[in-house]
Amino acid sequence: MHLATQDGKSGLVVRVFIQGAVRCDVVELGQTNGLRFPLDKIDGRGFFEGFIAERQEVFAYRLWIEQPNGEFREFYDPYSFLPTLGDDDLYLFNEGTDRQVFHKMGAHCRTINGIPGVSFAVWAPSARRVSVTGDFNAWEGRYHPMRSMGSSGVWELFIPGLQQGTLYKYELLDSHGHLRLKSDPYSTYFESPPNNASIVNSPSEYQWGDDEWIQQRSETQWPDMPISIYEMHLGSWKQASEDGNRPLSYREIAGELVEYLQQMNYTHVEFMPLSEFPFDGSWGYQVTGFFAPTHRFGTPDDLRYLIDTLHQNGIGVILDWVPAHFPKDAFALAEFDGTHLYEHADPRQGEHQDWGTLIFNYGRPEVRSFLIGSALSWCEQFHIDGLRVDAVASMLYLDYSRSHDQWVPNKYGGRENIEAIDFLRAANDAVHQSFPGVLMIAEESTAWDGVTKPTHEGGLGFDLKWNMGWMHDTIEYFQKDPIYRKWHQGDLTFGAIYQHTERFNLTFSHDEIVHGKGSMLLKMGAEHIPEKAKQLKALYAWMWGWPGKKTLFMGSDFGQSSEWAYDRSLDWHLLQYDDHKGIQTLIADLNAFYRRHPNLGRCDFDSSTFQWINHSDHESCVLSFMRLDHGAQHTLLVIGNFTSVTRDHYRVGAPHPGIWQEAINTNTKRYGGHVENTRQESVSMPIQWDGQAQAIDIALPGMSTLFFQLKTS
pLDDT digits (tens, 9 = 90+) for 683-696: 999 999 999 999 99
Do 289 and 273 form a contact (C-beta atoms < 8 A)?
Answer: no
Q: How far apart are CA 369 and CA 423, in angstroms?
A: 10
What is the mean pLDDT of the segment spanning 321-328?
A: 97
Which sign does the torsion angle of CA 36, 42, 47, 51 carry? negative
Q: How far apart are CA 566 and CA 285, in angstroms?
A: 12
- pLDDT band per the 50, 70, 90 thresholds, residue 276: very high
| Edge-to-edge strands, sheet with 704-710 | 610-617, 622-627, 636-641, 704-710, 659-665, 681-683
Q: Domains of the chain by range and CATH? A: 2-75 (2.60.40.10), 87-199 (2.60.40.10), 607-710 (2.60.40.1180)
Q: Half-sphere exposure of 655 toward its Cβ, with a 13 Å CA cutoff?
A: 23
Residue among 471, 461, 615 at smallest CA distance from 550: 471
Single out the catalytic residue among 443, 473, 604, 662. 443
The DSSP call for residue 37 is E
Burial classification of residue 501, based on how many CB atoms lie within 10 Å of its CB (0-12 exposed, 13-18 middle, 19 or more buried): middle
pLDDT digits (tens, 9 = 90+) for 14-28: 999 998 899 999 999
Helices (H), 597-623: 598-602
Judge whether 390 counts as a catalytic residue: yes
pLDDT digits (tens, 9 = 90+) for 604-643: 999 999 999 999 999 999 999 999 987 778 899 999 999 9
Looking at residue 34, its pLDDT comes to 74
The DSSP call for residue 474 is H
Residues linked to residue 167 through DSSP beta bridges, in sequence order: 199
Looking at residue 32, its pLDDT comes to 62
Do 155 and 149 form a contact (C-beta atoms < 8 A)?
Answer: yes
Report the relative pairing of strands 61-66 and 23-28 from DSSP bridges: antiparallel
pLDDT digits (tens, 9 = 90+) for 472-510: 999 999 999 999 999 999 999 999 999 999 999 999 999
Do 569 and 525 form a contact (C-beta atoms < 8 A)?
Answer: no
pLDDT digits (tens, 9 = 90+) for 340-391: 999 999 999 999 988 999 999 999 999 999 999 999 999 999 999 999 999 9
Predicted TM-score (pTM) of the model is: 0.95
> Does 31 have pLDDT greater than 70?
no
Q: How far apart are CA 15 and CA 285, in angstroms?
A: 46
What is the mean pLDDT of the segment spanning 82-92?
A: 95
What does the mean pLDDT of the chain come to?
95
> Does 713 have pLDDT greater than 90?
no
Q: Half-sphere exposure of 213 toward its Cβ, with a 13 Å CA cutoff?
A: 20
Report the relative pairing of strands 289-293 and 610-617 from DSSP bridges: unpaired
- pLDDT band per the 50, 70, 90 thresholds, residue 143: very high
Judge whether 191 counts as a catalytic residue: no
pLDDT digits (tens, 9 = 90+) for 88-113: 999 999 999 999 999 999 999 999 99
Looking at residue 631, its pLDDT comes to 72
Single out the catalytic residue among 390, 502, 604, 690. 390
Q: Percent of the chain beyond pLDDT 90?
A: 93
> Does 441 have pLDDT greater than 90?
yes
- pLDDT band per the 50, 70, 90 thresholds, residue 573: very high
DSSP output for 289-309: EEEEE-GGG--HHHHHHHHHH
Do 466 and 509 form a contact (C-beta atoms < 8 A)?
Answer: yes
Looking at residue 56, its pLDDT comes to 87
Looking at residue 353, its pLDDT comes to 87
- pLDDT band per the 50, 70, 90 thresholds, residue 244: confident
pLDDT digits (tens, 9 = 90+) for 415-437: 999 999 999 999 999 999 999 99
Looking at residue 633, its pLDDT comes to 80
CA dihedral (391, 191, 351, 451) in degrees, to 10, reads -20
Q: How far apart are CA 616 and CA 377, in angstroms?
A: 51
Report the relative pairing of strands 72-75 and 106-112 from DSSP bridges: unpaired
